[in-house]
Protein backbone atom coordinates (compact mmCIF):
# COMPACT_ATOMS: atom_id res chain seq x y z
CA UNK A 1 0.00 0.00 0.00
CA UNK A 2 1.19 3.54 -0.78
CA UNK A 3 0.29 6.69 1.14
CA UNK A 4 0.05 10.23 -0.18
CA UNK A 5 -0.55 13.16 2.11
CA UNK A 6 -2.22 16.11 0.36
CA UNK A 7 -1.87 19.62 1.73
CA UNK A 8 -5.21 20.18 0.02
CA UNK A 9 -7.40 17.83 -2.01
CA UNK A 10 -10.54 18.38 -4.05
CA UNK A 11 -12.96 15.63 -3.08
CA UNK A 12 -15.71 16.73 -5.46
CA UNK A 13 -17.45 19.43 -3.43
CA UNK A 14 -17.50 23.21 -3.66
CA UNK A 15 -14.22 23.68 -1.77
CA UNK A 16 -10.92 21.86 -1.25
CA UNK A 17 -10.24 19.87 1.93
CA UNK A 18 -7.08 20.29 4.04
CA UNK A 19 -4.65 17.62 5.26
CA UNK A 20 -5.98 14.60 3.38
CA UNK A 21 -4.22 11.24 3.62
CA UNK A 22 -4.83 9.04 0.56
CA UNK A 23 -4.03 5.36 0.63
CA UNK A 24 -3.69 3.39 -2.60
CA UNK A 25 -3.30 -0.30 -3.29
CA UNK A 26 -3.42 -2.27 -6.52
CA UNK A 27 -4.07 0.87 -8.54
CA UNK A 28 -7.12 1.83 -6.47
CA UNK A 29 -7.78 4.44 -3.81
CA UNK A 30 -8.48 2.46 -0.63
CA UNK A 31 -8.47 5.23 1.94
CA UNK A 32 -9.43 8.93 2.04
CA UNK A 33 -8.76 10.40 5.48
CA UNK A 34 -9.22 14.20 5.90
CA UNK A 35 -7.71 16.18 8.75
CA UNK A 36 -4.67 13.94 9.27
CA UNK A 37 -1.09 15.05 9.94
CA UNK A 38 1.47 13.86 7.40
CA UNK A 39 2.78 10.41 8.43
CA UNK A 40 6.51 9.79 8.11
CA UNK A 41 6.08 7.17 5.38
CA UNK A 42 3.70 9.16 3.15
CA UNK A 43 4.62 10.99 -0.05
CA UNK A 44 3.99 14.64 0.71
CA UNK A 45 2.00 16.43 -2.03
CA UNK A 46 2.25 20.17 -1.55
CA UNK A 47 -0.42 22.24 -3.29
CA UNK A 48 -3.89 21.04 -4.24
CA UNK A 49 -4.47 17.50 -5.45
CA UNK A 50 -7.20 16.82 -7.97
CA UNK A 51 -8.41 13.58 -9.55
CA UNK A 52 -6.65 12.86 -12.85
CA UNK A 53 -7.85 15.01 -15.73
CA UNK A 54 -9.60 13.46 -18.74
CA UNK A 55 -8.85 14.81 -22.20
CA UNK A 56 -11.98 13.57 -23.92
CA UNK A 57 -11.06 14.47 -27.50
CA UNK A 58 -7.65 14.13 -29.12
CA UNK A 59 -6.13 13.57 -32.52
CA UNK A 60 -2.52 13.02 -31.49
CA UNK A 61 -1.00 13.79 -34.89
CA UNK A 62 -2.54 17.26 -35.04
CA UNK A 63 0.14 18.30 -32.54
CA UNK A 64 2.55 18.75 -35.48
CA UNK A 65 0.41 21.67 -36.73
CA UNK A 66 1.02 23.85 -33.68
CA UNK A 67 2.57 27.13 -34.76
CA UNK A 68 2.47 26.08 -38.40
CA UNK A 69 -1.20 26.73 -39.15
CA UNK A 70 -1.62 29.96 -37.17
CA UNK A 71 -0.68 32.08 -40.18
CA UNK A 72 -2.67 33.71 -42.95
CA UNK A 73 -6.38 34.08 -43.53
CA UNK A 74 -8.50 30.94 -43.68
CA UNK A 75 -11.15 28.71 -42.18
CA UNK A 76 -11.64 25.21 -40.82
CA UNK A 77 -11.52 23.98 -44.42
CA UNK A 78 -8.17 25.58 -45.29
CA UNK A 79 -6.76 24.28 -41.98
CA UNK A 80 -7.99 20.82 -42.90
CA UNK A 81 -5.87 20.81 -46.05
CA UNK A 82 -2.76 21.39 -43.92
CA UNK A 83 -3.87 18.67 -41.51
CA UNK A 84 -4.23 16.22 -44.41
CA UNK A 85 -0.63 16.90 -45.47
CA UNK A 86 0.52 15.76 -42.03
CA UNK A 87 -1.80 12.73 -42.05
CA UNK A 88 -0.32 11.59 -45.35
CA UNK A 89 3.18 11.38 -43.86
CA UNK A 90 2.64 9.07 -40.91
CA UNK A 91 3.30 5.35 -40.59
CA UNK A 92 2.99 3.16 -37.49
CA UNK A 93 6.58 3.79 -36.36
CA UNK A 94 6.55 7.55 -36.81
CA UNK A 95 3.08 7.78 -35.29
CA UNK A 96 4.26 5.84 -32.25
CA UNK A 97 7.22 8.19 -31.76
CA UNK A 98 5.03 11.27 -32.16
CA UNK A 99 2.13 10.06 -30.03
CA UNK A 100 4.31 8.95 -27.13
CA UNK A 101 5.74 12.47 -26.93
CA UNK A 102 2.27 14.06 -27.27
CA UNK A 103 0.89 11.80 -24.54
CA UNK A 104 3.95 12.67 -22.48
CA UNK A 105 3.01 16.34 -22.87
CA UNK A 106 -0.49 15.42 -21.71
CA UNK A 107 0.83 13.59 -18.65
CA UNK A 108 2.86 16.67 -17.70
CA UNK A 109 -0.36 18.72 -18.01
CA UNK A 110 -2.14 16.44 -15.53
CA UNK A 111 -4.06 14.47 -18.14
CA UNK A 112 -4.23 10.88 -16.93
CA UNK A 113 -6.72 9.60 -19.51
CA UNK A 114 -7.07 10.53 -23.17
CA UNK A 115 -9.82 9.78 -25.65
CA UNK A 116 -8.06 9.31 -28.97
CA UNK A 117 -10.54 9.82 -31.80
CA UNK A 118 -8.65 7.58 -34.19
CA UNK A 119 -9.32 7.53 -37.92
CA UNK A 120 -5.85 7.19 -39.50
CA UNK A 121 -6.25 3.43 -39.89
CA UNK A 122 -4.58 2.37 -43.13
CA UNK A 123 -1.53 2.88 -45.28
CA UNK A 124 -1.19 5.18 -48.31
CA UNK A 125 -4.02 4.77 -50.79
CA UNK A 126 -6.05 2.94 -48.15
CA UNK A 127 -3.93 -0.22 -48.35
CA UNK A 128 -4.34 -2.08 -45.05
CA UNK A 129 -1.24 -2.75 -43.00
CA UNK A 130 -0.30 -6.41 -42.56
CA UNK A 131 -1.33 -5.94 -38.96
CA UNK A 132 -4.79 -4.45 -39.55
CA UNK A 133 -4.71 -2.24 -36.45
CA UNK A 134 -1.05 -1.27 -36.67
CA UNK A 135 -1.87 2.42 -36.16
CA UNK A 136 -4.16 1.72 -33.20
CA UNK A 137 -1.46 -0.50 -31.69
CA UNK A 138 1.02 2.36 -32.11
CA UNK A 139 -1.29 4.66 -30.17
CA UNK A 140 -1.87 2.11 -27.40
CA UNK A 141 1.88 1.58 -27.07
CA UNK A 142 2.44 5.34 -27.01
CA UNK A 143 -0.05 5.84 -24.17
CA UNK A 144 1.53 2.96 -22.24
CA UNK A 145 4.99 4.52 -22.72
CA UNK A 146 3.70 7.86 -21.44
CA UNK A 147 1.95 6.18 -18.49
CA UNK A 148 -1.56 7.47 -19.17
CA UNK A 149 -4.86 5.72 -19.78
CA UNK A 150 -6.23 5.54 -23.31
CA UNK A 151 -9.67 5.10 -24.75
CA UNK A 152 -9.11 4.28 -28.39
CA UNK A 153 -12.22 5.62 -30.10
CA UNK A 154 -12.07 3.66 -33.33
CA UNK A 155 -13.69 5.95 -35.88
CA UNK A 156 -15.75 4.89 -38.85
CA UNK A 157 -14.88 7.13 -41.82
CA UNK A 158 -16.21 6.06 -45.19
CA UNK A 159 -16.92 9.08 -47.39
CA UNK A 160 -15.22 12.27 -48.49
CA UNK A 161 -18.19 14.49 -47.64
CA UNK A 162 -21.69 15.42 -48.80
CA UNK A 163 -21.65 17.23 -52.12
CA UNK A 164 -23.89 20.10 -53.18
CA UNK A 165 -25.94 17.57 -55.17
CA UNK A 166 -26.77 15.74 -51.92
CA UNK A 167 -24.56 12.67 -52.36
CA UNK A 168 -21.77 11.24 -50.29
CA UNK A 169 -18.61 11.54 -52.39
CA UNK A 170 -15.75 9.00 -52.38
CA UNK A 171 -12.80 9.69 -50.09
CA UNK A 172 -9.92 11.61 -51.63
CA UNK A 173 -6.38 10.26 -51.70
CA UNK A 174 -5.59 11.12 -48.08
CA UNK A 175 -9.05 10.20 -46.81
CA UNK A 176 -8.61 6.72 -48.31
CA UNK A 177 -6.29 6.04 -45.39
CA UNK A 178 -9.23 6.64 -43.05
CA UNK A 179 -11.75 4.38 -44.79
CA UNK A 180 -12.53 0.70 -44.23
CA UNK A 181 -14.71 0.75 -47.36
CA UNK A 182 -17.98 -0.08 -45.66
CA UNK A 183 -19.44 -0.16 -42.16
CA UNK A 184 -19.30 -3.93 -41.73
CA UNK A 185 -15.57 -3.91 -42.53
CA UNK A 186 -15.17 -1.12 -39.98
CA UNK A 187 -17.05 -3.23 -37.41
CA UNK A 188 -14.86 -6.26 -38.10
CA UNK A 189 -11.69 -4.21 -37.64
CA UNK A 190 -13.08 -2.42 -34.57
CA UNK A 191 -13.86 -5.78 -33.01
CA UNK A 192 -10.28 -6.90 -33.60
CA UNK A 193 -9.04 -3.70 -31.92
CA UNK A 194 -10.67 -4.95 -28.68
CA UNK A 195 -7.53 -7.07 -28.34
CA UNK A 196 -5.76 -3.83 -27.33
CA UNK A 197 -7.82 -3.56 -24.13
CA UNK A 198 -5.89 -3.74 -20.89
CA UNK A 199 -6.09 -2.18 -17.41
CA UNK A 200 -4.78 1.03 -19.06
CA UNK A 201 -6.61 0.85 -22.42
CA UNK A 202 -10.27 0.61 -23.35
CA UNK A 203 -11.79 0.66 -26.84
CA UNK A 204 -14.77 2.67 -27.97
CA UNK A 205 -16.38 3.63 -31.26
CA UNK A 206 -16.84 6.82 -33.23
CA UNK A 207 -18.88 8.13 -36.13
CA UNK A 208 -16.42 10.55 -37.66
CA UNK A 209 -19.21 12.95 -38.74
CA UNK A 210 -22.32 13.06 -40.87
CA UNK A 211 -19.97 14.09 -43.67
CA UNK A 212 -17.98 10.87 -43.52
CA UNK A 213 -20.60 8.34 -42.42
CA UNK A 214 -23.95 7.72 -44.13
CA UNK A 215 -27.09 7.08 -42.03
CA UNK A 216 -27.17 3.30 -42.42
CA UNK A 217 -23.49 3.07 -41.45
CA UNK A 218 -23.87 5.24 -38.35
CA UNK A 219 -26.55 2.80 -37.22
CA UNK A 220 -23.98 -0.02 -37.52
CA UNK A 221 -21.56 1.94 -35.33
CA UNK A 222 -24.23 2.61 -32.69
CA UNK A 223 -25.23 -1.06 -32.65
CA UNK A 224 -21.59 -2.12 -32.28
CA UNK A 225 -21.09 0.27 -29.35
CA UNK A 226 -24.21 -0.97 -27.60
CA UNK A 227 -23.26 -4.62 -28.15
CA UNK A 228 -19.82 -3.99 -26.63
CA UNK A 229 -21.04 -1.62 -23.91
CA UNK A 230 -18.60 0.92 -25.30
CA UNK A 231 -18.69 4.71 -25.57
CA UNK A 232 -19.48 6.21 -28.97
CA UNK A 233 -18.43 9.68 -30.05
CA UNK A 234 -19.02 11.84 -33.14
CA UNK A 235 -18.00 15.25 -34.42
CA UNK A 236 -21.29 17.15 -34.53
CA UNK A 237 -22.16 20.49 -36.15
CA UNK A 238 -18.71 22.01 -35.91
CA UNK A 239 -19.36 23.88 -39.14
CA UNK A 240 -22.50 25.50 -40.54
CA UNK A 241 -21.76 24.09 -44.00
CA UNK A 242 -21.96 20.60 -42.50
CA UNK A 243 -25.44 21.41 -41.16
CA UNK A 244 -26.58 22.84 -44.49
CA UNK A 245 -25.40 19.84 -46.50
CA UNK A 246 -26.97 17.42 -44.03
CA UNK A 247 -30.32 19.20 -44.12
CA UNK A 248 -30.19 19.33 -47.92
CA UNK A 249 -29.43 15.62 -48.20
CA UNK A 250 -31.62 14.20 -45.44
CA UNK A 251 -34.03 16.92 -44.36
CA UNK A 252 -32.54 16.65 -40.86
CA UNK A 253 -29.85 18.40 -38.86
CA UNK A 254 -26.84 16.25 -37.93
CA UNK A 255 -28.18 15.80 -34.37
CA UNK A 256 -31.64 14.86 -35.62
CA UNK A 257 -30.11 12.40 -38.08
CA UNK A 258 -27.99 10.80 -35.34
CA UNK A 259 -31.11 10.60 -33.16
CA UNK A 260 -33.13 8.99 -35.94
CA UNK A 261 -30.42 6.35 -36.37
CA UNK A 262 -30.27 5.45 -32.70
CA UNK A 263 -26.91 7.02 -31.90
CA UNK A 264 -28.03 9.33 -29.07
CA UNK A 265 -27.90 7.78 -25.61
CA UNK A 266 -26.00 8.28 -22.33
CA UNK A 267 -23.06 6.42 -23.94
CA UNK A 268 -22.87 9.06 -26.72
CA UNK A 269 -20.61 12.11 -26.75
CA UNK A 270 -21.17 14.89 -29.26
CA UNK A 271 -17.86 16.61 -29.95
CA UNK A 272 -18.05 20.39 -30.52
CA UNK A 273 -21.87 20.72 -30.89
CA UNK A 274 -21.27 24.30 -31.93
CA UNK A 275 -24.10 25.21 -34.30
CA UNK A 276 -27.25 23.69 -32.83
CA UNK A 277 -30.96 24.40 -33.12
CA UNK A 278 -33.25 24.46 -30.11
CA UNK A 279 -34.52 21.02 -31.07
CA UNK A 280 -30.93 19.72 -31.33
CA UNK A 281 -30.25 20.94 -27.79
CA UNK A 282 -33.40 19.25 -26.54
CA UNK A 283 -32.53 15.97 -28.27
CA UNK A 284 -29.00 15.87 -26.83
CA UNK A 285 -30.12 16.96 -23.37
CA UNK A 286 -33.10 14.68 -22.93
CA UNK A 287 -31.01 11.70 -24.16
CA UNK A 288 -28.45 12.60 -21.42
CA UNK A 289 -25.60 12.67 -23.90
CA UNK A 290 -22.23 14.19 -23.06
CA UNK A 291 -20.97 17.20 -24.99
CA UNK A 292 -17.22 17.46 -25.46
CA UNK A 293 -16.32 21.08 -26.00
CA UNK A 294 -12.83 21.86 -27.28
CA UNK A 295 -12.71 25.64 -26.87
CA UNK A 296 -9.06 26.28 -27.77
CA UNK A 297 -9.47 24.39 -31.03
CA UNK A 298 -12.84 25.97 -31.72
CA UNK A 299 -11.22 29.38 -31.29
CA UNK A 300 -8.22 28.44 -33.40
CA UNK A 301 -10.39 27.17 -36.26
CA UNK A 302 -12.89 30.03 -36.04
CA UNK A 303 -15.68 27.51 -35.47
CA UNK A 304 -17.85 29.54 -33.11
CA UNK A 305 -19.14 29.22 -29.53
CA UNK A 306 -21.35 26.27 -28.67
CA UNK A 307 -24.41 26.55 -26.37
CA UNK A 308 -22.83 24.83 -23.36
CA UNK A 309 -25.14 26.28 -20.73
CA UNK A 310 -28.30 25.51 -22.67
CA UNK A 311 -27.14 21.93 -23.23
CA UNK A 312 -26.29 21.47 -19.56
CA UNK A 313 -29.62 22.94 -18.46
CA UNK A 314 -31.41 20.51 -20.78
CA UNK A 315 -29.70 17.50 -19.16
CA UNK A 316 -26.45 16.98 -21.08
CA UNK A 317 -23.12 16.50 -19.30
CA UNK A 318 -20.08 18.49 -20.33
CA UNK A 319 -16.54 17.30 -20.94
CA UNK A 320 -13.42 18.89 -22.39
CA UNK A 321 -10.91 18.07 -25.12
CA UNK A 322 -7.76 19.59 -26.56
CA UNK A 323 -8.65 18.14 -30.00
CA UNK A 324 -6.09 19.68 -32.41
CA UNK A 325 -3.65 20.49 -29.57
CA UNK A 326 -3.25 24.15 -30.42
CA UNK A 327 -2.42 23.99 -26.71
CA UNK A 328 -2.60 21.06 -24.28
CA UNK A 329 -3.94 22.57 -21.08
CA UNK A 330 -7.20 21.37 -19.54
CA UNK A 331 -7.31 24.39 -17.20
CA UNK A 332 -7.39 26.62 -20.27
CA UNK A 333 -10.15 24.51 -21.83
CA UNK A 334 -12.15 24.60 -18.58
CA UNK A 335 -12.04 28.36 -18.11
CA UNK A 336 -12.65 28.91 -21.82
CA UNK A 337 -16.02 27.22 -21.48
CA UNK A 338 -17.12 29.88 -19.02
CA UNK A 339 -15.27 32.81 -20.57
CA UNK A 340 -16.56 32.10 -24.09
CA UNK A 341 -20.05 31.80 -22.66
CA UNK A 342 -19.59 35.25 -21.11
CA UNK A 343 -18.63 36.73 -24.47
CA UNK A 344 -21.66 35.19 -26.12
CA UNK A 345 -24.25 35.82 -23.41
CA UNK A 346 -22.88 38.98 -21.73
CA UNK A 347 -23.53 37.21 -18.40
CA UNK A 348 -20.84 36.09 -15.90
CA UNK A 349 -20.98 32.93 -13.83
CA UNK A 350 -22.84 30.34 -15.91
CA UNK A 351 -20.27 27.63 -15.08
CA UNK A 352 -18.63 27.76 -11.66
CA UNK A 353 -15.22 26.29 -10.83
CA UNK A 354 -16.49 23.03 -9.27
CA UNK A 355 -18.71 22.28 -12.27
CA UNK A 356 -15.82 22.98 -14.67
CA UNK A 357 -13.56 20.69 -12.64
CA UNK A 358 -16.21 17.98 -12.86
CA UNK A 359 -16.21 18.37 -16.66
CA UNK A 360 -12.42 17.97 -16.64
CA UNK A 361 -12.48 14.92 -14.36
CA UNK A 362 -15.43 12.67 -13.54
CA UNK A 363 -17.68 13.54 -16.47
CA UNK A 364 -14.82 13.37 -18.99
CA UNK A 365 -13.82 9.96 -17.69
CA UNK A 366 -17.42 8.71 -17.85
CA UNK A 367 -17.68 9.80 -21.47
CA UNK A 368 -14.57 7.74 -22.25
CA UNK A 369 -15.85 4.59 -20.58
CA UNK A 370 -14.02 5.01 -17.27
CA UNK A 371 -16.84 5.51 -14.71
CA UNK A 372 -14.40 4.19 -12.12
CA UNK A 373 -12.00 7.14 -12.58
CA UNK A 374 -12.04 10.90 -12.11
CA UNK A 375 -12.82 11.14 -8.40
CA UNK A 376 -10.84 11.02 -5.18
CA UNK A 377 -12.96 8.47 -3.37
CA UNK A 378 -12.57 4.97 -1.99
CA UNK A 379 -12.79 2.46 -4.83
CA UNK A 380 -11.80 4.91 -7.59
CA UNK A 381 -8.76 4.36 -9.77
CA UNK A 382 -5.69 5.91 -8.17
CA UNK A 383 -5.10 8.77 -10.61
CA UNK A 384 -3.98 11.99 -8.91
CA UNK A 385 -2.77 15.38 -10.13
CA UNK A 386 -1.14 17.89 -7.82
CA UNK A 387 -1.05 21.56 -8.76
CA UNK A 388 1.34 24.10 -7.25
CA UNK A 389 -0.08 26.91 -5.18
CA UNK A 390 3.22 28.80 -5.08
CA UNK A 391 3.72 29.67 -8.75
CA UNK A 392 3.40 33.21 -10.03
CA UNK A 393 -0.02 32.27 -11.39
CA UNK A 394 -1.42 30.58 -8.29
CA UNK A 395 0.26 32.37 -5.39
CA UNK A 396 -2.19 34.14 -3.08
CA UNK A 397 -4.90 31.49 -3.24
CA UNK A 398 -6.81 30.94 0.01
CA UNK A 399 -9.15 28.19 1.18
CA UNK A 400 -12.06 30.15 -0.25
CA UNK A 401 -10.49 30.92 -3.63
CA UNK A 402 -8.49 27.77 -4.31
CA UNK A 403 -10.75 26.06 -6.84
CA UNK A 404 -11.38 29.31 -8.67
CA UNK A 405 -7.62 29.91 -8.80
CA UNK A 406 -7.14 26.45 -10.32
CA UNK A 407 -9.73 26.93 -13.03
CA UNK A 408 -9.31 30.60 -13.84
CA UNK A 409 -5.56 31.13 -13.39
CA UNK A 410 -3.55 27.90 -13.21
CA UNK A 411 -1.87 26.44 -16.27
CA UNK A 412 -0.52 23.06 -17.30
CA UNK A 413 2.89 24.32 -16.17
CA UNK A 414 1.64 24.36 -12.56
CA UNK A 415 1.15 20.58 -12.52
CA UNK A 416 4.07 19.14 -10.59
CA UNK A 417 3.07 15.62 -9.53
CA UNK A 418 0.99 13.03 -11.38
CA UNK A 419 0.06 9.52 -10.29
CA UNK A 420 -1.67 7.11 -12.67
CA UNK A 421 -2.87 3.69 -11.58
CA UNK A 422 -0.98 4.17 -8.34
CA UNK A 423 2.33 4.82 -10.14
CA UNK A 424 4.20 8.12 -10.22
CA UNK A 425 4.38 9.37 -13.82
CA UNK A 426 5.39 12.99 -13.25
CA UNK A 427 7.36 14.29 -10.29
CA UNK A 428 8.68 17.79 -9.67
CA UNK A 429 7.15 18.78 -13.00
CA UNK A 430 9.23 16.30 -15.02
CA UNK A 431 8.10 13.14 -16.78
CA UNK A 432 9.74 10.15 -15.12
CA UNK A 433 10.61 8.23 -18.31
CA UNK A 434 10.36 10.52 -21.35
CA UNK A 435 12.30 13.67 -22.24
CA UNK A 436 9.09 15.11 -23.59
CA UNK A 437 10.27 18.40 -25.10
CA UNK A 438 13.19 16.71 -26.88
CA UNK A 439 11.06 13.87 -28.23
CA UNK A 440 8.35 16.28 -29.39
CA UNK A 441 10.95 18.34 -31.24
CA UNK A 442 12.49 15.32 -32.97
CA UNK A 443 9.18 13.64 -33.83
CA UNK A 444 7.52 16.78 -35.15
CA UNK A 445 10.43 17.81 -37.33
CA UNK A 446 10.72 14.27 -38.68
CA UNK A 447 7.06 14.24 -39.71
CA UNK A 448 7.02 17.75 -41.11
CA UNK A 449 10.40 17.42 -42.83
CA UNK A 450 11.15 21.07 -42.15
CA UNK A 451 14.36 20.96 -40.16
ZN1 LIG B 1 -11.77 16.26 -33.63
Q: Which of 307, 339, 367 lies at the terminal end of a domain, its last residue? A: 367
Please tell me the predicted confidence (pLDDT) of residue 320.
98
User: Does any domain span residue 448?
Assistant: no
From ligand 1's centre to the CA of 46, what distance in Å? 35
Q: Which of 313, 334, 367 lies at the terminal end of a domain, its last residue? A: 367
Q: What is the CATH number of the domain that holds 153?
A: 3.20.20.140
Indicate if 229 and 94 belong to the same structural domain: yes
User: In this structure, are residues 117 and 71 in contact, taking their beta carbons and an 8 Å threshold?
Assistant: no
φ/ψ of 110, rounded to 5, equals: 90, 10
From ligand 1's centre to the CA of 117, what distance in Å? 7
User: Does any domain span residue 441?
Assistant: no
User: Does any domain span residue 220?
Assistant: yes
Q: Which tens digit of pLDDT belongs to each residue from 250-287?
A: 999 999 999 999 999 999 999 999 999 999 999 999 99
Indicate if 198 and 116 belong to the same structural domain: yes
Domain membership of residue 93 as a residue range:
53-367
From ligand 1's centre to the CA of 58, what distance in Å? 6
Please tell me the predicted confidence (pLDDT) of residue 451.
53
Please tell me the predicted confidence (pLDDT) of residue 374.
98
Q: Whole-angstrom Cα distance, residue 266 to residue 100?
A: 31
φ/ψ of 102, rounded to 5, equals: -65, -45
Indicate if 431 and 330 belong to the same structural domain: no
User: Does any domain span residue 19?
Assistant: yes
Please tell me the predicted confidence (pLDDT) of residue 450.
61
Please tell me the predicted confidence (pLDDT) of residue 336.
98
User: Does any domain span residue 413?
Assistant: yes
Indicate if 63 and 44 belong to the same structural domain: no
Q: Whole-angstrom Cα distance, residue 292 to residue 285?
A: 13
The region that residue 425 occupies, defined by phi over 0 for left and psi between -120 and 50 for alpha, beta otherwise, is: alpha
Residues assigned a catalytic role: 272, 323
Indicate if 159 and 266 belong to the same structural domain: yes
Q: Whole-angstrom Cα distance, residue 157 to residue 71?
A: 29
Indicate if 253 and 402 belong to the same structural domain: no
Tell me how many degrees the CA angle 239-242-245 measures, rounded to the nearest 5. Answer: 150
Q: Which of 350, 367, 384 lies at the terminal end of a domain, its last residue? A: 367
Q: Which tens digit of pLDDT belongs to each residue from 73-128?
A: 878 878 887 888 888 889 999 999 999 999 999 999 999 999 999 999 999 999 99
Q: What is the CATH number of the domain that holds 424?
A: 2.30.40.10
Q: What are the helix (H) ranges across 49-91? A: 76-87
User: In this structure, are residues 363 and 317 in contact, taking their beta carbons and an 8 Å threshold?
Assistant: yes
Indicate if 355 and 409 belong to the same structural domain: no
From ligand 1's centre to the CA of 321, what distance in Å? 9
Indicate if 271 and 393 belong to the same structural domain: no
Indicate if 159 and 290 belong to the same structural domain: yes
Torsion of CA 82, 88, 90, 91, to 10 degrees: 170
Indicate if 129 and 116 belong to the same structural domain: yes
User: In this structure, are residues 45 and 5 in contact, taking their beta carbons and an 8 Å threshold?
Assistant: yes
User: Does any domain span residue 445?
Assistant: no
User: Does any domain span residue 444?
Assistant: no
Indicate if 417 and 360 belong to the same structural domain: no
Q: Tens place of pLDDT for every residue, the chain, 451 residues?
A: 999 999 999 999 999 999 999 999 999 999 999 999 999 999 999 999 999 999 999 999 999 999 888 888 878 878 887 888 888 889 999 999 999 999 999 999 999 999 999 999 999 999 999 999 999 999 999 999 999 999 999 999 999 999 888 899 999 988 999 999 999 999 999 999 999 999 999 999 999 999 999 999 999 999 999 999 999 999 999 999 999 999 999 999 999 999 999 999 999 999 999 999 999 999 999 999 999 999 999 999 889 999 999 999 999 999 999 999 999 999 999 999 999 999 999 999 999 999 999 999 999 999 999 999 999 999 999 999 999 999 999 999 999 999 999 999 999 999 999 999 999 999 999 999 999 999 999 999 999 886 5
Please tell me the predicted confidence (pLDDT) of residue 81.
79
β-strand 423-427 against 430-431: which pairing, if any?
antiparallel
Indicate if 163 and 31 belong to the same structural domain: no
β-strand 17-25 against 2-9: which pairing, if any?
antiparallel
Provide the whole-model pTM: 0.97
From ligand 1's centre to the CA of 394, what distance in Å? 31
Q: How many domains does the chain have?
A: 2
User: Does any domain span residue 99?
Assistant: yes
Amino acid sequence: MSSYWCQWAWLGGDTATADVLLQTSGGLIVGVLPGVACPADAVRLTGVTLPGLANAHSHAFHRVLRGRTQVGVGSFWTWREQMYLAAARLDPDSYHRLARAVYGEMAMAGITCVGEFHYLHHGPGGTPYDELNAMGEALAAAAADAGIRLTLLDACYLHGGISADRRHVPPNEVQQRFSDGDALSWATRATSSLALESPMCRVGAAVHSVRAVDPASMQVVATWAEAHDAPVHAHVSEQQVENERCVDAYGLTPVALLAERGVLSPRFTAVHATHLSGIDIELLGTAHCTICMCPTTERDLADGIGPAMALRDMGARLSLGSDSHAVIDLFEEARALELDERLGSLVRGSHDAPSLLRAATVDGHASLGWPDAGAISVGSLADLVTVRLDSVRTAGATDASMLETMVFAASAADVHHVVVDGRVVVSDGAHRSIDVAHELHEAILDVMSDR
